[in-house]
Chains A and B, each alone.
Chain A
Amino acid sequence: MKTLSRVTLYTLMTIMSFVFLFPLVFMVISSLKPDAQLLHDTTSLRAFIPTGSISFKNYSGVFTRIPFFTFLFNSLLVSLITVVLGLFVNSSIAFAIARMKWKGKNFVMAIILATLILPFEVIAIPLLYICAKIPSISFTGGFHLTHGIFNSYQIQILPFIANAISIFLFVQFFKTLPKDLDEAARVDGASWFLIYRKIAMPLAGPAIGTVAILTFLPMWNSYLWPVMTIQDERYRPIMIGLQYFYTNFQTSWGQIMAYLSLLTIPVVILFLSMQRFFVTSIATSGVKG
Chain B
Amino acid sequence: MSKQTITVDPLTRIEGHLKIKVEVENGVVVNAFSSGEMFRGWEIILQDRSPIDAPPIVQRICGVCPMPHGIASVLALDDAFDVNPPENGLLIRNLLLAAEFVHSHILHFYHLAALDYVDITAILNYKGVDPKLNKIKDWVKADIDSGTKSAGAPFLPRYEGDYITNVDVNVQAIASYIKALEIRRKAHEMLAIFGGKVPHCQTLFAGGVSTNLTLDRIIAFQSRLAEIRNFVNNVYVPDVLAIASLFPNYFKIGKGVGNFLSYGGFPDSVESNNTGGNTFFSNGVYIAGNLQEFNPKLISEYVKFSKFSSGSNLYPQNGQTVPDAKKQGAYSWLKAPRYDNNVVEVGPLARAVVCYLKGQNLEFKNLIDSVLTKLNIDFSDLISTMGRHAARALELKLLVDKMDEWLDRLNPSKPVHNKFKIPKTSDGMGLTEAARGSLGHWISIDNWRIKNYQAVVPTTWNGGPRDDSGNLGPFEQALIGTPIADPKNPIEVGRVIRSFDPCLACAVHILGAKEENIELKVCLC
Check if A and B associate: no
Q: Which residues of B contact A (CB under 8 A)?
A: none
